[in-house]
Amino acid sequence: MADHDTRVSAYAARLSGVRKTFGGRQVLAGIDLTIARGEFVALLGRSGSGKSTLLRLLAGLDTPDEHPSDSARANDSARANDSAPTSASAPTTTAEPTGAGVEGGQPDGSGTVASDAADERERSTAGVEDAGDAADRQPVATTTARPPVDVPGRVSVAFQDPRLLPWRRVGHNVRLGLRRPDADEVAERTLAEVGLAGHRDAWPLTLSGGEAQRVSLARALVREPDLLLLDEPFGALDALTRLAMHRLVLELWRRHEPAVLLVTHDVDEALTLADRVLVLADGRIAAEHPVPLARPRRRADLAELRARVLDHLGVSAHAVA
Amino acid sequence: MSLSTAGALARPGTTASTTATSTTATSTTAPPGGGSARRRVRARLPAPRRWISPLVLVVAWQAASAAGVLPPDRLAAPLTVLRSAVDLAASGELTDAFAVSISRVAVGFTLGAAVGVLLGAVAGLSRWGEALVDPPVQMLRTLPFLGLIPLFILWFGIGEAPKIALVALGVAFPLYLNVHAGIRGADGRLLEAAEVLGFTRWERLRHVVAPAAVPQGLVGLRQGLAAAWLSLIIGEQVNADAGLGFLINNARDFLRTDVIVVGLLVYAALGLLTDAVVRLVERRVLRWRTTTRG
């Protein structure tokens, strides 16, 4: 809590003109988005609309495309005033993330072990070098430095599949990678928060789908994220378990106050949970709906908003209802 | 000539390993039902009716020997085999031979396993490592390694070195292949999760990549051990002056088929024993897998 105060950014994440292309197909075609600290945002979209890509960019698992015009501009300016040491280094530094981005963007998981080092470099460059070059690269956007993806705080992710290490016990899974002396206690406390106090020594394969997903949530929360990314984490759960998980997520969000980006294709889920619902279509944010209702929300109060959101998703509300 | 003997000699080892796997199958299917300890013990032993035919065969063998149908210079009677086993054990001959053979396997296995695991890890963990290590290893793998004996004799002479080298070679390939494949097979989604969770490179290796490679690595260990015994048996046919192979070759010169059979049985027992050890390790190391919810 104390280090929250020392952090100056007003936002948990900011995307400025983010583009991402996979094999010639543009998945994201210029996304501008700011998520305030502590805000709960839901991102809706059909499958293939680029929701998960957006989340991966925020998680640092992928890097955004560079704008071809911008890097050309950077090259030009570097050539123009060779005397300035900062801009002279610009072409080499801007060129590198592009190469790394292509490598990291390969969707086959097979090469991940070997390219670990490259990934690590990529992550660090995304944070450090982008910030330095941003002024050169995006002169159009603003006069101040604006990296395309700016996540100032800690990020955690809960994926659609829990992705627990099956060979480590539940408690170990939660505390792995946590670098603090009281990791054990914190992990145990967080497990209790998600209602799995007694499962510390269980093997992940013995858990039900809902339990495993709660462990995954605990693992994300235990890092005290400033931004919690949820990638359709309830998609594989049965309806009753999903409702219980909604309640749990809201409760945890209230207690820990991270900003949340929930990626989902379930309109009701988005409207029940979020402060703001975004609709992603054709690589752009096609619509934005604030949900100014107190929680817990009743389905009846959401009917009108639901119709509008479905409309933006290209589904007639009457056809669905 | 040596190759045909090799085939006959190898057979006890292979049958031993198949019976071993069939018992594993029964024991793994039985316990998840829970049940009493007594039921579990019974599940580990074959059903009584499975004892009938082996016993009949042994009795028939004994009868054929007693009736003179099976002369002792072709195949000694079971009871004679048993008696010579006791004699050999009592005189210390068997124990000495046993110790020599075991130490050959131990040294050869350790060398081969170290090389196999090391190269497998290098090829699995680094793209350059794979590019440099994998092609020559795959090329060498196509050579029938038991056919290298003549070369080994020229290189290492006829002492301990060629026998140990043969065992090491037999062990290295299966371990290399399986460790390499195991590391490459590590789940990309788990690695991604590890990245998001901020694992260091060492943590990723220790908690994600290495455990992911263990099941496949244990398969390699089993194959490697089978290859080790096979290599030993064949290596010991070449001018051994000690060990089980020496015992058997010596017995052949004196038409002592009983001693030959004892030697074969000891080989088989050793193969079974190491297989049991690997299964024990497997059960301990992979216990996270066996507890799947029913």
Domain ranges of chain A: 2-62+155-320, 65-147
Query: Of chain B residues 1-30, which have a CB less than 8 A from chain A?
Result: none
pLDDT in tens, B171-181: 999 999 999 99
Give the list of residues 6+ apart from residue B214 with CB closer than 8 angstroms, or none.
A167, B182, B285, B286
Half-sphere CA count of A32, side-chain side, radius 13 A: 4
**CB of B294 less than 8 A from some CB of A:** no
Task: Report if residue B69 sits inside a domain.
Answer: no
With a CB cutoff of 8 Å and minimum separation 6, the contacts of A22 are A53, A105, A107
| Domain membership of residue B132 as a residue range | 78-290
Rounded mean pLDDT of B101-117?
Answer: 96
Q: Of B192, B214, B290, B291, which to mutate for an interface test with A (greatest number of A Cβ within 10 Å)?
A: B192
Whichever domain contains B97, its CATH number is: 1.10.3720.10
Q: How far apart are CA B190 and CA B256, in angstroms?
A: 60
Mean pLDDT of chain A: 77
pLDDT digits (tens, 9 = 90+) for A253-266: 999 999 999 999 89
pLDDT of residue B47: 87
Compute and round to an integer the Cα radius of gyration of chain A.
Answer: 21
Q: Identify the pLDDT of residue B237.
A: 84
Task: Give me the mean pLDDT over the A74-94 stretch.
Answer: 41
Candidate CATH numbers 3.40.309.10, 3.40.980.10, 3.40.50.300, 3.40.30.10; the one for domain A2-62+155-320: 3.40.50.300
Q: Do A110 and B184 touch (CB under 8 A)?
A: yes
The whole-angstrom separation of Cα B99 and Cα B236 is 13
The pLDDT tens digits for A13-55 are 999 889 999 988 889 998 999 999 999 999 998 888 889 899 9
Cis status of the peptide bond prior to A296, with omega within 30 of 0: yes
**CA-based nearest residue in chain A for residue B200:** A177
- Segment A176-222, tens digit of pLDDT: 988 889 999 999 999 999 999 999 999 999 999 999 999 999 999 99
What are the residues facing A276 on neighbouring strands? Answer: A41, A290
Per the CB < 8 A criterion, the answer to whether B129 and B122 are in contact is yes
Chain B partners of A155 at a C-beta cutoff of 8 Å? 196
Q: Which residue from B minimizes the CA distance to A117? A: B201
Q: Tell me what the mean pLDDT of segment B119-142 comes to.
A: 95
Q: Which residue of B has its CA nearest to A58?
A: B196
Which of B124, B190, B288 minimises the CB distance to A203?
B288
Lowest-confidence region among A208-217, B32-41, B135-144, B216-225: B32-41
Confidence of residue A301 (pLDDT cuts 50, 70, 90): confident
Higher-pLDDT residue of B25, A273: A273
The residue-averaged pLDDT of A294-311 equals: 87
Contact yes or no for B197 and A219 at CB 8 A: yes
Does residue A106 belong to the interface with chain B, where contact is any CB pair within 8 Å? no
- Number of folded domains in chain B? 1
Q: For residues A88 and A82, give the distance between their C-alpha atoms in angstroms, rounded to a whole number.
A: 6
Tell whether A305 lies on the interface with B, counting CB pairs under 8 A.
no
pLDDT band at A154 (very low <50, low <70, confident <90, very high): very high
**pLDDT(B3) > 80:** no
Note whether B276 contacts A: Cβ–Cβ < 8 A: no
Q: How far apart are the first and last CA of chain B?
A: 54
For this complex, say whether ipTM is above 0.90. no
Nearest-angstrom CA–CA distance, B23 and B38: 17
With CA atoms as reference, the chain B residue closest to A172 would be B207
Asked if residue B60 belongs to a domain, the reply is no
Q: Is residue B106 over pLDDT 60?
A: yes
